[in-house]
Structure 1
Amino acid sequence: MDVLNPSPALCLPQAMWLVYRVVKAKSDLGRDDVLDLVTPRSMRSAAPMQGAHAQRALAALQEFGMVHETKGCLNTADEVTDARSFLRVLRRRLVLPPSSIGEDFVGAPDLRSALVWLMRQPPMTALHYAVNVQTNMPEGLFINDTRWNGFRWWSQALGFGREAIKILDPTHDSKAKIFPDPSVAVIDALQHPFGDRLPRGEQIPVATVLEFLRSEIPVLPGDSSATYDGFQEDGQPANAALGLALSTAEQHQLLTMGYQSDPSGVLALPDAQNFRINRYVSHVTIKV
């Protein structure tokens, strides 16, 4: 499913969460009943595209296997208790290679390709479609600025980007820009992994931590599936955004990073205190 395609309406995780809550609360309802609760018929004439956003949200939930239909009734398929766990499951289904979920699973290839691209962009540069995205992206990654705007909202909701703030980007259109920042996704993966948790309170080789994060979030640079049509290495530091996320986790006292001279196991990450230089890390200690 192309979630960045705004036809007939843009599919957004906020609408998906609203529809999901209705299905979870009312497991004996059919498709039309759910849509009637989300966008009552009496209000549809005033809703965008007469409620098409809710229809796309429900279609996406079914496409991604989070809502199933049995004998005409819809039901939820995942153990989701709140918005955070909903986004956690949604993120997982959209960043995994589709073939790893199922033979017929398509996922959101346009969004996944865009996230792979975003995770390789410098985290200290605000991205704007007309300024430095349209000219630098692989051909066809974003067809137009409308799809870019949809991607901005998706990247923030899934924890891979942040809206540019005035202090870092004082231009009048700073709200149309994002910074690559996977801190939310990385911290969530460390605290609530789908696989085995990393040990707490002991030094872990940085290579082990990176392997863990790539298995949890396989759009990060270095994973064999983190690619897209037209992908080419550009010579830029591939781990800059990931380095920012690890530094953010350290600032929140969730982990510490250290260095012991070991040429076979050292990673150069952009320093959170001085992004002009590299910080060398050989091991990570998870605290929380």
Structure 2
Amino acid sequence: MTIENPLLEERHGDVLVISLNIPERLNPIARELQHALRARLAALREDRSVAALVLTGSGRAFCVGADLSSNMAGNGTSVGQASYETMESLSNRIIEDLRTLPMPVVSAVNGPAAGAGVGIALAADVVMAARSAYFYLPFMPKLGIVPDLGTTWFLERFVGRARAVGMTMLNEKLSAEQAAQWGLIWSVVDDADLRTQALALAERLAKLPAHAAREVRAAYDSAGRVSLVEQMRYEAERQRELLDAPSFAEGVKAFREKRDPIFPRN
């Protein structure tokens, strides 16, 4: 089955909305979709006109993960080996692409995020979900495999080991409301308001300094692997550079003038 338009795009000023677009199958990460998304994210890396990205799904789902309806085996290779090669060369790269984009990324989870779709949703800087949305990990209870596309990394850090293991093993759907209570996502909004609220959030993020996403991601990644003393040293080293940058000067000037700062884009 040929997928003609695996992605849809909308532009709202300096915010770009990308929708995963295989709605009749609840947006599985079919190979065509993965290739299209990697290509678009690569182009975004060089596009200075986009200051924030919203990633969402078309139809009634965000993303239900692997396309189990397709033939997963390669020519002369096992299903496991073929899947490993695809994850290493393609699927895992999508998560890395999202985590290293120069602009902030918002996931607008409009419906079910299941399987690898959970990893894609959580790769964003800020995750907002519709009230009807849920997060579901069928990997072990339904298929006898572990979560992938970074899902174990995100869950252990965001909600802790006990909740991560329970969510992985118990075959229960985690509602958007519960996900927010656990600290897995930023917020929950009514379904009808999701697109508007996600755009408003992205527009706020678009006003941040151009280096904001990369600096904040790096700071919290560092905090997750070093001691308090080492992290304070890291913070001091970053301040040594950032306090001499144009964005800090503009922030101070705006504070004195009692206005919002207008940060340089480059």
Q: TM-score, normalised by structure 2?
A: 0.28
Q: TM-score, normalised by structure 1?
A: 0.27
